[in-house]
Amino acid sequence: MASMAQAIRMALHFAEENLALKDIFGQDVGEPLGGVFTATQGLKTTWNSPLDERGIIGMAMGIAMAGDRCVAEIQFCDYIFNTIDLLKIAGNTNWVSNGNYTLPMVVMTPVGAGIRGSVYHSHSFDAWASRLAGWKVVMPATPIDAYGLMLSAVDDPNPVLFLKPKALMRVRGDDLIPGEPEDQKELKNRIDAPIGDRKNWKPKWPSLTDYRVPIGQAKVTRAGEHLTVVSYGRHLLLCNQAADQLREQGHSVEVIDLRSIYPYDWQAVKSSVEKTRKVLFVNEDTEVTNFGEHLAYRATQELFYHLDAPPRVLAGKHLPGIGLHPNLEEHSVPQLPDIVRAMSEVLAEVP
């Protein structure tokens, strides 16, 4: 099975060949590195840019304005903050021009903790991103969803922010990418650049086929009856693990992978909460004005009379940064035991 990095790479290759993707660029995106997580190795339209995030976003906006499709990368979301006003403009261009100009562009950036990335390689961006009106924002938890969401993102006429959970970039999924060889080693030999001299290396792409995950469509990853848990990205997998643990104790937890932060699949959340009557939102961005708070607010407002417990948000602590030492990181963002505990507490609520 492909890793998420391989899945993104294959999606970008498919988009180059079939979706008129003309530019994949950013710092270290082109040869020889092919991205710090190898997600852009071997692609034909990649190029390295100056170390200049504002230049990267501005370039992407201009390319989109001229009608070409591009995927721009900010190497870590920790370094995207100096582009906020450009991101706002990209989001409002269609609106403020009253439909005169559209900006079909994708910006991808690794997010979140989990790799001992210290203060400036551990930020999350989903809560910030949810405030960038006019953007679509997606965040996959599995390679197959990364593939399907990337193709939808490249093909979308709006700007799309593709958040890559960096701790999952080398994690393999349970599903084959359409066209992916079943033998993992064969895939590696075909599309992973060799260590060392890569001057003469060319990837041997498998015959990939189209596969879309519609933006705005969630997925139930664990069916359950007693509690709804809504998450995305790295913490979705932790929520799955927590649900499996609790199942052994007789608790039936339904886990929803939101996959898209904006637009989001409220109908999936709503129908699940109406069934389970309890809901927990889990992510690792900081807890004050967290995106989960918006969802919890909405659940309170619209589903109040269906609820047997207050909607709850489990998120990263409102700290200035994530410290490097594991003791610090693990006390800053939710860990598996924290999720199990929070689920248990909500399950134990009696109206």
Partner 1 sequence: MANTSVSIKSKMALKKKSNKKGLPLSKDLLRHMHAMMVKSRVLEERLIKIYKAGEAYFWIGGPGEEAFGVPLGLLVHKGQGPEYDYLHLHYRGTPTLIAMGMPMIDSIRLIMNKATDPSTGGRNFCNHYCFPQWNVAPVSSPIEVQYPMALGTAHVQRRSKSRGLSIVTGGDAGTAEGDFASTLIWASRPGRELPLLMTVQNNQWGISTEYKYQHGETNIADRGKAFNMRTAVINGNDPIESYRALESEMNYIRKTRKPVLLEAKVSRLYGHSSATGANLIPEVDCLRDFETLLLEHDIVTELAVKKLWQEYEAEGREAQEKARIEPAPTGESVWENYFVGNENGDWRKF
- DSSP per residue, 246-287: HHHTT--EEEEE--EEES--HHHHHHHHHHHS-EEEEEEEES
Shortest Å, Cβ 337 to partner 1: 33
Residue 94, interface with partner 1 (CB under 8 A)? yes
CA atoms in the 13 A half-sphere facing the CB of 66: 9
336 and 284 Cβ atoms separated by less than 8 Å: no
Near partner 1 in 269-328, by CB under 8 A = 294, 298
- Cβ distance to partner 1 smaller for residue 271 or 335: 271
CA distance 242 to 314: 13
Residue 96, interface with partner 1 (CB under 8 A)? yes
Site size for partner 1 (CB under 8 A): 47
C-alpha dihedral, 46 to 48 to 53 to 59, nearest 10°: -60
Which residue in the list 13, 121, 226, 235 is annotated as catalytic? 121
163 beta partners: 109
Fill in the DSSP letter of residue 193: P
Of these, 19, 33, 65, 303, which contacts partner 1 (CB under 8 A)? 65
Q: Where are the beta strands (DSSP E) in 112-156?
A: 136-138
Near partner 1 in 1-60, by CB under 8 A = 22-23, 49-50, 52, 54-55, 57-60
Residue 131, interface with partner 1 (CB under 8 A)? no
229 beta partners: 255, 280
Shortest Å, Cβ 99 to partner 1: 4
134 and 160 Cβ atoms separated by less than 8 Å: no
Stretch that binds partner 1, among 7-15, 96-104, 107-115, 225-233 (CB under 8 A): 96-104
- Cβ distance to partner 1 smaller for residue 86 or 177: 86
Near partner 1 in 157-196, by CB under 8 A = 157-158
294 a catalytic residue: no
Shortest Å, Cβ 59 to partner 1: 5
Q: Which two tokens stand for residue 169?
A: 């970039």
Shortest Å, Cβ 301 to partner 1: 10
First and final CA of the chain: distance in angstroms?
45
Q: Which residues are catalytic?
A: 121
Q: Footprint of partner 1 on this chain (CB under 8 A)?
A: 22-23, 49-50, 52, 54-55, 57-68, 85-86, 89, 93-102, 104, 133-134, 136, 157-158, 216, 262-267, 294, 298
